[in-house]
Structure 1
């Protein structure tokens, strides 16, 4: 969820094959999904980080300017997957300027990913106290509550998030994910109702169709490249598709398939997407369950 840029990548087959002579038939693929190379780091982000670092060495900056530079550099570190460095900058930013709602939102996400849910709730609460209309704080607090096994409270936040943009398929889907384990039949009824407000021409509507059972997995996978205007957009779609397919298989109790799709989401390298971030958390939770 979030972003887009350059040339369409074609479908590739993930397959395992043994050594074979030219007389042997081609092996059938074990997994047949669209795939491409991981997202490359944006060199412009690295240059910007270097520039912000130079500016932070100046002695004539106001406290507010320092805080803003630390926040901006932290966002870039986060987008490149340098989570620890970004967290250091975010913590320094709110020490200098405690009223930066967006910094608390980022810190909440990072503590969710560390499974420090109580601390995450505190950060999201702070973000919303500073800015009650910070809609993504509702989304991210809802996700923290979802992973913290507080489904009812998560649904409240996802409903608040959806109310601000009822035509967003991702908001509809996260509300469904928070409800399905509590009451699958009622969650499906509400998913159908919420789907009526959506624009079926949006690619993300195919995610809703998949969850409703109105399209097959193979038909859904074929839509990923439709209307794509850049390689970046294609990789973004793959990240989202893999994550939500994983959640679908997880709900069916097929964790071994879900784990493969979570790994595929991570293979896209789209660090700034919540689907990428939480694919890693999902795998950590699965590994923890396996170890227990």
Structure 2
């Protein structure tokens, strides 16, 4: 609870200064950083232990499926996602009735851009457990990245309605709605921000809306915690959503820098880390398409 209290203190400082003029703000010459997270001894020991146990031939299918799922989770937590996917797949073959495992696979498929496989995985999760709200959110994000905005909006609105005080639900609803009604999206998010509580995520909402400066945001993050793990998590989130803002504004160079920073802290379990890779691919494809279109236009003029 100690770190939560310090985060709340930092948030209060941020809200108090949120309306201040930023005309004379100092620029950050070096990006605020944390020490990148490393695999813990416990994680490595658990992977080795489960690997040894899985060599046994007398395991029941149910127990083997559970152990493969657990090892997959450990692989995923240290960034070995392909190994995690292999374990998840083997686990599902032994026990297909694992709703949360399908949810994890859906996130994995979203990250690598295999959206049809992601939709199927999330649908399987919800078939097995219709009450899994996070599968609805994750499917909405997959639909968003798959350019199925209307369906994404439908899912995210349902997810948001379950807890309208959650800043992260509000942020993702805003990002999706931004594709259809930018002005309405901003007005709706601003209205929610004005009714905020002291949840950390509202700092990210303020940053996204431009209600506070980058400097104020990072000062609040550093005032909120001295724990490196929490700091890495907060910076991962901040750089991702700042990247989204820059990307929407067309500042691809800054967006790329922010996504790379979000990746750098090794917070593998956060969607902001996972989807930073996807955002970098989207920017690359967009810039490449624009360059090809420009080259074709110039060639047509010469002919």
Q: Which residue of 2 aligns with 1:18?
A: none
1:213 to 189, 210, 214: 210
Deviation of 1:29 after TM superposition, in Å, equals 8.1
**CA offset at residue 197 of structure 1?**
5.2
Alignment partners' CA distance in 1, 2:275 and 2:103: 15
Q: What is aligned with 1:111?
A: 109
- Which of residues 240, 261, 264 in structure 1 aligns to 2:261? 264
Aligned to 1:56: 54
CA separation in 2, counterparts of 1:167 and 1:111?
29
**What is the 5 A alignment of 1:147-166?**
147-166=145-164
Match of 2:178 among 167, 177, 180: 180
Q: Deviations over 1:107-132 (max 9, x none)?
A: 11111122111111011000011001
Q: List alignment gaps of at least 5 residues for structure 1.
A: 9-27
1:234 is aligned to 231
Q: 1:277 and 1:229 mapped to 2: Cα distance? A: 25
Q: How far apart are 1:164 and its partner, in Å?
A: 2.7
Alignment length (residue pairs): 267
Task: Please give the alpha-carbon distance, in whole angstroms, between the structure 2 residues aligned to 1:208 and 1:190.
Answer: 12
The equivalent of 1:44 in structure 2 is: 42
Deviation string 1:76-123 (CA, Å, 9 cap, x unpaired) is 111111111001001111111111011111111111122111111011
Assess if the C-alpha contact under 8 Å between 1:33 and 1:221 holds in 2. Answer: no
TM-score normalised over the length of structure 2:
0.83
Greater RCO, 1 or 2 (C-alpha within 8 Å, sep 6+): 2
Partner Cα distance (1:217, 1:269) in 2? 22
**Alpha-carbon contact 2:35-2:228 (below 8 Å) kept:** no
Q: Which residue is equivalent to 2:72? A: 74
Aligned mates of 2:202, 2:73 — CA distance in 1: 29
Aligned to 1:281: 278
- Does the 8 Å contact 1:143/1:154 carry over to 2? yes
Please give the TM-score of this superposition, normalised by the length of structure 1.
0.86
Structure 2 gaps, min length 5: 7-25, 290-303
Deviates more, 1:216-225 or 1:91-100: 216-225
What is the distance in 2 between the residues matched to 1:97 and 1:165?
A: 32
In 2, the alpha carbon distance for the partners of 1:228 and 1:278 equals: 25
Q: Aligned partners of 1:203, 1:212: CA distance in 2, in Å?
A: 15
Deviations 1:189-217 (A, max 9, x none): 22133335531x22221111222332122
Greater Cα shift, 31-40 or 173-182: 31-40
> For the Cα contact (< 8 Å) 1:166–1:198, is it kept in 2?
no
Match of 2:168 among 155, 166, 170: 170
Which protein has the bigger helix share? 2
Q: Distance in 2 between matches of 1:31 and 1:274?
A: 27
Please say if residues 106 and 118 of structure 2, whose CA atoms lie closer than 8 Å, have aligned partners that are also in contact: yes
For residue 131 of structure 1, the aligned residue among 120, 129, 135 is: 129
The answer to whether the Cα contact below 8 Å between 2:35 and 2:265 also exists between their aligned partners in 1 is yes
Match of 1:244?
241
